[in-house]
């Protein structure tokens, strides 16, 4: 009711604005994740196109990881810049600028020449553009998510949050299917193949076009948050960053950072370690078997995100985290340990165990979007959400180094289960330090 009054519009008009804001947030998440995984899935097989020949395996691994990590490191910068923009100039404006930005950068990457043309400069241009891309991608959350949450009905915020974040799962499935099509059409016969020369560029162009369409949709169809308009019209313009660092937002921000550090750590185990470190290197599945397993898993994760959001709405978001965190540290760790056991298993059993593990470990993400938005007042919500969501990824992004350090102390099979336990417990502690937010009026 409060949000309807803030909107100052008839119910039918408000419903249209609400639907468009939620749809735009879903597609913003979809395109964001599509773009994030482009180098991991599309470029990884032909990264040598940007590098000198005859690199050592260790050097090649470092250069490959740098392309992905720099994108993640750019996200907190974008979260801060575009969060401030969204709190000062509006959620819609921030969304338009950020989506347009990562569309342009993705197109520039598609046009990059290779090592044969520019030498090692081609690789560093790729890394630089991915860092800039990460800035714009980090900014995408700061406008789209608060805008959708501020339009959502209070009793539907859990569903909306789960639906929006499920765009990640849909994007993962979509980019894998597109990559498989490109591999089938152009083959993968080294850096002289048609795929290495230009086939990989097609998914990047697709990502850029999707971003352009979304930017136009925001500009022509999506209305600015009336709740934000009302708050900024009736209150003095606040300084969001000052409020988050030394004002009333400092406590919520530190609590959200702890919560999200834990859940980012567990998420990286599922999205980054399981496909390569577990399925490929430990279980020795073929590329086709890994892809089919993950496609099945992420198709089911799409629905689990929505279900988790609805469950958090029913029992309380803090309660959900407090229950799921220990389950991740115990049941999830046991599933991961069992999966890494030597000995052959039928593919269907591996897929079933991976899906069960992924659903348990990543289900909190269906609850995260509404929870973080509910922790901050309107005048600093976008900045708080952006920093809480994206700055917390910095420490977990170095998970591979933690695995190496732990591998020197314990058997390699145990190291990832330890990280999963640590992540689950950090998420639980972060939830315990915060309040229940389900009934908060935005």
From 201, 177, 186, 29, select the one nearest 106 (Cα to Cα): 201
What pLDDT does residue 7 have?
46
Cα gap 238→217, rounded to integer Å: 29
Q: Are 335 and 356 in contact (CB under 8 A)?
A: yes
From 29, 185, 182, select the one nearest 110 (Cα to Cα): 182
Which tens digits make up the pLDDT trace of 220-264? 999 999 888 888 777 666 678 788 888 888 999 999 999 999 999
Give the three-state DSSP class for 214: helix
Q: Are 39 and 137 in contact (CB under 8 A)?
A: no
Cα gap 154→132, rounded to integer Å: 35
Determine the CATH number of domain 11-432. Answer: 1.20.1250.20
Q: Where are the alpha helices (DSSP H) in 316-346?
A: 317-327, 333-339
What pLDDT does residue 118 have?
85
What token pair was written down for 150? 């501020």
**Domain boundaries defined on the chain:** 11-432
What pLDDT does residue 136 have?
93
Q: Where are the alpha helices (DSSP H) in 364-439?
A: 365-374, 381-390, 399-407, 415-432
From 43, 77, 50, 31, select the one nearest 171 (Cα to Cα): 31
Cα gap 244→381, rounded to integer Å: 10
What pLDDT does residue 267 have?
92
**What are the residue ranges in the chain where pLDDT is below 50?**
1-2, 4-7
Which tens digits make up the pLDDT trace of 121-133? 988 999 999 999 9
Number of CB atoms found within 10 A of residue 280's CB: 15
Q: Are 160 and 370 in contact (CB under 8 A)?
A: yes
Residues 6 or more apart whose Cβ sits within 8 Å of residue 319: 312, 436
Residues 6 or more apart whose Cβ sits within 8 Å of residue 91: 142, 143, 144, 146, 147, 150, 224, 225, 228, 382
Give the three-state DSSP class for 4: helix
What pTM, to 2 d.p., does this model score? 0.89
What pLDDT does residue 370 have?
95
Q: Are 340 and 278 in contact (CB under 8 A)?
A: yes
Cα gap 35→204, rounded to integer Å: 8
Q: Are 290 and 280 in contact (CB under 8 A)?
A: yes
């Amino acid at each position: 009711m409060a949000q309807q009054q803030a909107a100052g519009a008839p119910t039918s008009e408000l419903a249209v604005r609400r639907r468009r804001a939620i749809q735009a947030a879903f597609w913003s998440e979809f395109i964001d994740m599509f773009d994030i995984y482009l180098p991991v899935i599309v470029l990884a097989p032909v990264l040598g196109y940007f590098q000198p020949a005859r690199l050592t395996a260790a050097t090649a691994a470092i250069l490959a990881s740098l392309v992905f990590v720099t994108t993640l490191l750019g996200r907190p910068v974008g979260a801060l810049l575009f969060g401030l923009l969204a709190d000062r100039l509006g959620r819609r404006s921030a969304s338009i600028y950020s989506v347009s930005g990562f569309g342009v950068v993705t197109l520039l990457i598609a046009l990059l020449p290779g090592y044969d043309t520019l030498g090692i400069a081609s690789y560093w241009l790729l890394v630089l553009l991915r860092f800039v891309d990460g800035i714009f991608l980090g900014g995408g959350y700061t406008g789209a998510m608060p805008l959708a949450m501020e339009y959502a009905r209070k009793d539907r915020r859990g569903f909306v949050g789960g639906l929006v974040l499920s765009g990640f799962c849909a994007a993962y499935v979509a980019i894998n299917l597109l990559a498989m099509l490109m591999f089938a059409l152009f083959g993968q016969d080294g850096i002289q193949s048609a795929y290495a020369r230009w086939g990989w560029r097609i998914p990047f162009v697709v990502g850029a076009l999707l971003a352009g369409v979304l930017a136009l949709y925001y500009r022509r169809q999506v209305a600015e948050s009336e709740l934000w308009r009302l708050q900024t019209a009736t209150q003095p313009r606040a300084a969001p960053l000052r409020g988050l660092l030394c004002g009333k937002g400092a406590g919520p921000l530190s609590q959200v950072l702890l919560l999200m550090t834990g859940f980012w750590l567990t998420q990286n185990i599922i999205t980054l370690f399981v496909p390569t470190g577990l399925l490929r290197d430990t279980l020795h599945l073929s590329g086709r078997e890994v892809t089919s397993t993950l496609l099945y898993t992420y198709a089911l994760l799409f629905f689990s995100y929505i279900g988790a959001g609805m469950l958090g709405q029913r029992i309380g978001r803090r309660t959900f985290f407090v229950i799921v965190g220990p389950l991740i540290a115990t049941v999830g760790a046991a599933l991961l340990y069992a999966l890494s056991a030597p000995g052959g298993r039928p593919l269907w059993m591996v897929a079933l165990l991976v899906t069960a593990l992924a659903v348990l470990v990543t289900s909190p993400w269906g609850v995260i979007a509404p929870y973080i938005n509910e922790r901050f007042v309107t005048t600093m919500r976008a900045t708080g959400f952006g920093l809480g969501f994206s700055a917390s990824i910095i420490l977990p992004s170095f998970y591979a180094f933690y695995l190496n350090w732990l591998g020197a102390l314990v058997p390699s099979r145990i190291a990832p289960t330890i990280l999963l336990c640590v992540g689950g417990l950090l998420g639980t502690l972060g939830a315990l330090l915060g309040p229940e937010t389900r009934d908060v009026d935005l």
